[in-house]
Amino acid sequence: MVNDIFATLRTYLSKVTDGDKSASEVAATLNQWLREGGEALKIKIEDEVERSVSKMGFVKRGEFEALKEEVARFKLSSAPASTKASPTRRAGAKKTAKKSPARKTPKKGAHK
With respect to residue 8, please indicate whether it lies within any of the assigned structural domains. Answer: yes
- Asked if residues 30 and 15 have their Cβ atoms less than 8 Å apart, the reply is no
Instruction: Tell me which of 4-8, 63-67, 100-104 is least confident.
Output: 100-104
Q: What is the pTM of this model?
A: 0.42
pLDDT at 80 over 70: no
With respect to residue 55, please indicate whether it lies within any of the assigned structural domains. Answer: yes
With respect to residue 98, please indicate whether it lies within any of the assigned structural domains. Answer: no
Domain count, the chain: 1
Q: What is the pLDDT of residue 16?
A: 80
Alpha-carbon distance 18 to 91, whole Å? 98
With respect to residue 28, please indicate whether it lies within any of the assigned structural domains. Answer: yes
Going by the DSSP 8-state scheme, the letter that residue 20 receives in this structure is: S
Range of the domain at 23: 2-82
Between 41 and 101, the higher pLDDT residue: 41
